[in-house]
């Protein structure tokens, strides 16, 4: 009779579990974004994020991510091992709950931010639901516990299969070909994401291995300098404007912010931002707080040191020319917004980052006058160049009649006026142009001939580009402008 009670509790929770995982299999996109290659790789990130949480909690130092023959994935960590004790509410081993109950991570342990609570952040049960099979082994209390699943259902209950003298968790899974369009992993995609994870958690050692026959390779990643080293790495092919990577960190209530930055002698702005280790390419509150504070700190310092006249100002864009920066924030209940859910919405983070940068960057500039001077000079040069570019654009417009619609000599235009039906062939040299003109259908095919050495626009500012005799005809022929003013709707 005693067993009846637990048997029925078991049945009830089992039914809930199956309904939950069934929902994942019916609408996988809701849980992992898509069933294309990005979703396939996402499965790995879900598993690894749990290991990173274990590392952030201070119990795990090493993570191994391996692609096996047949494109199965193995992830191993040396953490405490997922708990295996029987949970009171469900009567099931905690390990089983983690792998079969949606969002088990949240209920479990409670409190604190977890990287696994980020974008999608749906946990191991979703990976299990979307795997043809999954095997997990836990090394804990001197034993190896094993459990096996198929498409989310238990096929081998938790069993002790051996002895262990270490602790940790090892998961191997095969993404379900019934769910995923393509089940072949791209090693470089995994490696890039794992490198990011390693930069974001200073000291954590992550090894990636491709064990597929014929493509064997492996990489070890461990960065004791964390995001400082991330910035150094991003700037590796550029010339730094100052020797040191500027680093700051601050904490407020349960949120933490970290920024590392260094200018280089180029013109590009490179900002990588993360919230709970999730990349936020659309930016959001952490980036806004940073940008605002950076602009006001540089202007204030420039005025104070009389580098800028009272009525002179450098714009936000000027302050970010040649800047390489990594922003990482960790917070409870991150809100991801925007088209691709890749923008951080929590307004309190803007306040935290703004206050941190206002205070700490100002101090840094005070203490490092040489670097401060180089940065403010750079922003002032950017400001002047932007002014010059504007003038160049206006004068070229007037001179060449960009507005008048006069086309360059080197363009053999077509008759069609609907740009969606037109083609343009850019050919090198007059003789190539000759044969192209002969062979074209002038109703919808235009020919533009170019010659000589092309300008590297990565290394040039807008005034140089507009003034370039090779590029200018192309800009006019296309009619859509360049850089900030590029507008595809104006394409002719
Ligand atoms: C002890 C307690 C808890 C989790 C873990 C260990 C643990 C989970 C994973 C997932 C992958 N590797 C792991 N290693 C250890 C539960 C406490 C909590 O949820 O915060």
Mean pLDDT, the chain, as a whole number? 90
Q: How far is the CA of 99 from the centre of ligand 1 (A)?
A: 12
Q: How far is the CA of 199 from the centre of ligand 1 (A)?
A: 22
Which residue's CA is minimally distant from atom 20 of ligand 1? Answer: 109
Asked whether the predicted pLDDT for residue 345 surpasses 60, the reply is: yes
Q: How far is the CA of 201 from the centre of ligand 1 (A)?
A: 17
Q: Choose the residue to mutate in 112, 169, 197 for probing ligand 1, maximizing ligand atoms within 8 Å of C-beta.
A: 169
Asked whether the predicted pLDDT for residue 119 surpasses 80, the reply is: no
Which residues does 399 contact at the CB level (< 8 Å), separation at least 6? none
Cα–Cα distance measured from residue 11 to residue 342, given in angstroms and rounded to the nearest whole number: 39
Confidence bin at 114 (pLDDT 50/70/90):
low
Q: How far is the CA of 378 from the centre of ligand 1 (A)?
A: 48
Average pLDDT over residues 251-262: 96
Average pLDDT over residues 131-140: 98
Which residue's CA is minimally distant from atom 4 of ligand 1? Answer: 82
Q: Choose the residue to mutate in 44, 50, 137 for probing ligand 1, maximizing ligand atoms within 8 Å of C-beta.
A: 50
Cα–Cα distance measured from residue 434 to residue 389, given in angstroms and rounded to the nearest whole number: 35
Which residue's CA is minimally distant from atom 9 of ligand 1? Answer: 82
| 105 Cα nearest atom in ligand 1 | 19
Which residue's CA is minimally distant from atom 8 of ligand 1? Answer: 82
* Element holding 300 (H helix, E strand): helix 285-304
Cα–Cα distance measured from residue 184 to residue 186, given in angstroms and rounded to the nearest whole number: 7
Quote the crossing angle between the two packed helices 227-234 and 187-200, to the nearest 10°.
130
Cα–Cα distance measured from residue 482 to residue 475, given in angstroms and rounded to the nearest whole number: 7
Asked whether the predicted pLDDT for residue 231 surpasses 60, the reply is: yes
Give the per-residue pLDDT at 489.
Answer: 87
Cα–Cα distance measured from residue 153 to residue 384, given in angstroms and rounded to the nearest whole number: 65
Strands 336-337 and 343-344: antiparallel
Tokens of 210: 């491709």
Asked whether the predicted pLDDT for residue 3 surpasses 90, the reply is: no
Q: Among 33-42, 105-114, 298-307, 392-401, which is the least confidently predicted range? A: 105-114
Asked whether the predicted pLDDT for residue 72 surpasses 60, the reply is: yes
Does 453 or 177 have the greater pLDDT score? 177
Q: Choose the residue to mutate in 48, 54, 168 for probing ligand 1, maximizing ligand atoms within 8 Å of C-beta.
A: 54
* Element holding 389 (H helix, E strand): helix 369-400
Asked whether the predicted pLDDT for residue 107 surpasses 50, the reply is: no
Q: How far is the CA of 108 from the centre of ligand 1 (A)?
A: 9
Cα–Cα distance measured from residue 294 to residue 285, given in angstroms and rounded to the nearest whole number: 14
DSSP class of 86: B
Which residues does 423 contact at the CB level (< 8 Å), separation at least 6? 414, 444, 445, 446
Q: Measuring CA to CA, which residue among 278, 482, 241, 252 is closest to residue 376?
A: 241
Q: CA 360 → CA 245, 280, 319, 416, distances in Å? A: 14, 24, 17, 58
Q: Are 419 and 444 in contact (CB under 8 A)?
A: no
Tokens of 361: 């960057």
| 124 Cα nearest atom in ligand 1 | 10
What's the count of helices (H) and strands (E) in the chain, helices before strands? 15, 18
Give the per-residue pLDDT at 2.
Answer: 43
Does 104 or 476 have the greater pLDDT score? 476
Cα–Cα distance measured from residue 98 to residue 113, given in angstroms and rounded to the nearest whole number: 18
Q: How far is the CA of 83 from the centre of ligand 1 (A)?
A: 7
Which residue's CA is minimally distant from atom 17 of ligand 1? Answer: 109
Give 3-state DSSP helix, strand, coil % of the chain, rounded to 5.
40, 25, 35
Tokens of 249: 């960190």
Q: How far is the CA of 48 from the centre of ligand 1 (A)?
A: 12
Q: Among 65-74, 315-324, 443-452, which is the least confidently predicted range? A: 443-452
Cα–Cα distance measured from residue 414 to residue 311, given in angstroms and rounded to the nearest whole number: 50
Q: CA 9 → CA 1, 18, 193, distances in Å? A: 13, 14, 41
Give the per-residue pLDDT at 110.
Answer: 43
Where helices occur in 27-71 by DSSP H, the ranges are 28-32, 37-56
Q: How far is the CA of 34 from the centre of ligand 1 (A)?
A: 27
Pocket of ligand 1 (CB under 6 A): 50-51, 54, 77, 79-83, 108-109, 169
Euclidean distance between the first and the last CA atom of the chain, given in angstroms as a whole number:
82
Which residues does 105 contact at the CB level (< 8 Å), separation at least 6? 50, 98, 114, 116, 117, 121, 123, 124
Q: How far is the CA of 20 from the centre of ligand 1 (A)?
A: 21
């Amino acid at each position: 009779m005693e067993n009846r009670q637990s048997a029925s509790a078991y049945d009830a929770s089992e039914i809930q579990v199956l309904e939950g995982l069934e929902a994942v299999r019916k609408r996988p996109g809701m849980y992992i974004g898509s069933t294309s290659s990005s979703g396939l790789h996402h499965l790995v990130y879900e598993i690894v994020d749990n290991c990173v949480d274990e590392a952030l909690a201070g119990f795990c130092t090493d993570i191994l991510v391996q692609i096996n023959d047949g494109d199965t994935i193995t992830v191993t960590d040396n953490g405490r091992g997922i708990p295996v004790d029987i949970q009171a509410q469900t009567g099931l081993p905690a390990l089983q709950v983690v792998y079969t109950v949606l969002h088990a991570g949240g209920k479990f342990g409670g409190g604190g931010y977890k990287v696994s609570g980020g974008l999608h952040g749906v946990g191991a049960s979703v990976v299990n639901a979307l795997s043809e099979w999954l095997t997990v082994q836990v090394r804990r209390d001197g034993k190896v516990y094993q459990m096996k699943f198929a498409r989310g259902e238990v096929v081998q209950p938790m069993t002790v299969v051996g002895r262990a003298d270490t602790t940790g968790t090892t998961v191997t899974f095969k993404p379900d070909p019934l769910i995923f369009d393509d089940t072949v992993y791209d090693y470089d995609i995994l490696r890039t994401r794992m490198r990011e994870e390693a930069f974001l958690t200073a000291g954590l050692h992550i090894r990636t291995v491709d064990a597929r026959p014929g493509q064997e390779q492996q990489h070890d990643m461990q960065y004791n300098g964390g995001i400082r080293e991330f910035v150094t790495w991003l700037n590796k092919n550029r010339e730094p404007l100052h020797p040191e990577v500027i680093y700051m960190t601050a904490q407020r209530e349960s949120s933490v912010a970290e920024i590392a930055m260094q200018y280089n002698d180029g013109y590009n702005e490179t900002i990588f931002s993360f919230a709970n280790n999730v990349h936020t390419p659309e930016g959001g509150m952490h980036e806004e707080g940073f940008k605002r504070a950076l602009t006001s700190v540089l202007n204030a310092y420039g005025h104070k040191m009389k580098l800028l006249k009272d009525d002179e100002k450098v714009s936000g864009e000027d302050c970010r020319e040649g800047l390489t920066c990594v922003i990482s924030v960790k917070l409870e209940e991150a809100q991801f917004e925007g088209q691709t859910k890749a923008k951080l919405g929590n307004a309190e983070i803007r306040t935290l980052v703004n206050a941190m940068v206002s205070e700490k960057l100002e101090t840094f500039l005070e203490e490092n006058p040489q670097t401060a001077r180089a940065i403010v000079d750079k922003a002032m040069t950017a400001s002047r160049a932007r002014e010059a570019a504007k003038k160049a654009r206006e004068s070229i417009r007037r001179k060449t009649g960009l507005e008048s619609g006069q086309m360059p000599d080197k363009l053999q235009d077509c008759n069609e006026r609907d740009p969606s039906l037109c083609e343009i062939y850019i050919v090198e040299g007059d003789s190539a142009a000759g044969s192209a003109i002969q062979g074209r259908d002038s109703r919808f095919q235009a020919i533009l001939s170019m010659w000589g050495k092309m300008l590297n626009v990565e290394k040039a500012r807008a005034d140089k580009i507009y003034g370039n005799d090779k590029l200018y005809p192309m800009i006019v022929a296309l009619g859509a402008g360049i850089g900030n003013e590029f507008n595809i709707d104006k394409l002719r």
